[in-house]
Structure 1
């Protein structure tokens, strides 16, 4: 059958970013307040339309910088300690009221990200606890406060998928170290697991598991007292990227 352009309605491609970090011993996501319709004034994930002259990752980096002032090291340098991966593609026909829009979502994990500065078509930007954002997406019985209004578009679904990806992958991979500085203690790594999973873990059992896989953590030879108490041994992520046996997420 010959190609007939009139048979296909116009559509656009966008990128959306699930940017996660650990702050105050909890998992936080980057959100922006939309300054334009649709959903003007609602919180959303950073992202936007892909231009004709750019690839998907370039569009993701540009939108992140324009809307939040953050320049993701994960998008610029895969060796910088942060983590970037393509999450999923979302293409429900009615997901955007303007036209048919297909979105490619990215997951970005990084430590010590600064406070964002809004720009572009974002009125403001902030870090928000993922638990509160996901409760709003579930329609939890809360007062209609600003922070509990569901995210715009289908961004609640995209956020949920990103959080679940992070939660599941730290069971068997070194992904949790993307939330840590270049050198970290086992206690600091455990607090990352606790923040992402939302549960308390036994310190001794955790230490045994993460140090039991050869090459998973490598001692740096240094110590630190930044967490208080006696000096704690410092480690860095090693060449082994798989945790064997996996550390299964506790049931809650």
Structure 2
């Protein structure tokens, strides 16, 4: 089979944005870049797609090779193709993002490429247009979190109301009134109260809850009420 005439090949890369929550802090997983240019600078997990794989397969392979993470749900975010985004060759990058519970996946992460978690507000300057990618991923998460229970992917199966509130505040970078939040989340009927308590932060403790996923599908608009009005 022939080739398209007068067409210059363009490299296709995949970059993975991994957000995690450890129960207290929302974080981003980044690595030290292993190749030139900008070797040893902070980067998202990325690599080039191989001849025999599709985009989803490339994303999973790259994430596994660079961090050791596997069985992580990845969602395609956007494609970046500015001509000058890579100083070496014209490269188009297809970006994926994921939300994980850090404690659940901590044993999988290897240190071969110095994978490291940074608090969202302390993320260092990343190579190329990677900071722009992270910002766009945050914007999409904020939008989706208003309609779907995606932030619960960051939480353990059972969690406390303070943990849930802290997570929403960090995602939207805005404070949430405590009493209002508790009243609305309780009235929604979306959470199932457990008999156990978390007493790690106080003698009185805080009850654990679980998300009622079936009820949430029927009442997904309820989560719009939890979003801070002054979010950035």
TM-score range, shorter chain: 0.7 to 0.9
Assess if the C-alpha contact under 8 Å between 2:79 and 2:92 holds in 1: yes
Question: Which residue number in structure 2 is paired with residue 109 of structure 1?
Answer: 99
Shift of residue 126, structure 1, vs aligned partner: 0.8
Shift of residue 110, structure 1, vs aligned partner: 0.7
Question: Which residue number in structure 1 is paired with residue 186 of structure 2?
Answer: 211
- Distance of 1:180 and 1:167 partners within structure 2: 16
- Distance of 1:213 and 1:57 partners within structure 2: 36
Q: Are 2:44 and 1:45 equivalent residues in the alignment?
A: yes
TM-score by length of 1: 0.78
- Distance of 2:229 and 2:174 partners within structure 1: 8
Assess if the C-alpha contact under 8 Å between 1:22 and 1:195 holds in 2: no
Residues 123-153 of structure 1 show CA distances to partners (whole Å, capped at 9, x for unaligned) of: x2211122233xxxxxxxxxxxxx4xx2112
Query: Structure 1 residue aligned with 2:176, among 183, 196, 201?
Result: 201
Question: Which residue number in structure 2 is paired with residue 156 of structure 1?
Answer: 131
Any unmatched runs of 5+ in structure 1?
A: 76-83, 134-146
Match of 1:244, SS state, is helix
- Distance of 1:232 and 1:27 partners within structure 2: 21
- Distance of 1:28 and 1:231 partners within structure 2: 25
- Distance of 2:64 and 2:184 partners within structure 1: 38
Match of 1:230, SS state, is coil
Assess if the C-alpha contact under 8 Å between 1:171 and 1:249 holds in 2: no
TM-score by length of 2: 0.84
Shift of residue 160, structure 1, vs aligned partner: 0.7
Shift of residue 233, structure 1, vs aligned partner: 2.6
Q: Are 2:31 and 1:32 equivalent residues in the alignment?
A: yes
Assess if the C-alpha contact under 8 Å between 2:198 and 2:207 holds in 1: yes
| Change over 3 Å in CA distance of 1:4–1:64 after alignment to 2 | closer
Shift of residue 24, structure 1, vs aligned partner: 7.1
Any unmatched runs of 5+ in structure 2?
A: none
Question: Which residue number in structure 1 is paired with residue 222 of structure 2?
Answer: 244
Shift of residue 118, structure 1, vs aligned partner: 3.4
Shift of residue 4, structure 1, vs aligned partner: 6.2
Q: After the TM superposition, list the runs of 4 or more consecutive aligned residues in structure 1 that deviate by more than 4 angstroms.
A: none
| Change over 3 Å in CA distance of 1:202–1:104 after alignment to 2 | same
Query: Structure 2 residue aligned with 1:233, among 173, 185, 207?
Result: 207
Shift of residue 168, structure 1, vs aligned partner: 2.9
Query: Structure 2 residue aligned with 1:189, among 148, 156, 164?
Result: 164
- Distance of 1:177 and 1:14 partners within structure 2: 29
Assess if the C-alpha contact under 8 Å between 1:174 and 1:243 holds in 2: no
Q: Are 2:158 and 1:179 equivalent residues in the alignment?
A: no
Match of 1:5, SS state, is coil
- Distance of 1:34 and 1:100 partners within structure 2: 18
Query: Structure 2 residue aligned with 1:99, among 89, 106, 115?
Result: 89
Q: Which moved more, 1:217-226 or 1:181-190?
A: 217-226
Q: Which moved more, 1:86-95 or 1:110-119?
A: 110-119
- Aligned pairs for 1:1-40 (under 5 A) are 5-23=4-22, 25-40=24-39
Shift of residue 210, structure 1, vs aligned partner: 2.0
How many residue pairs match? The answer is 222
- Distance of 2:115 and 2:198 partners within structure 1: 34
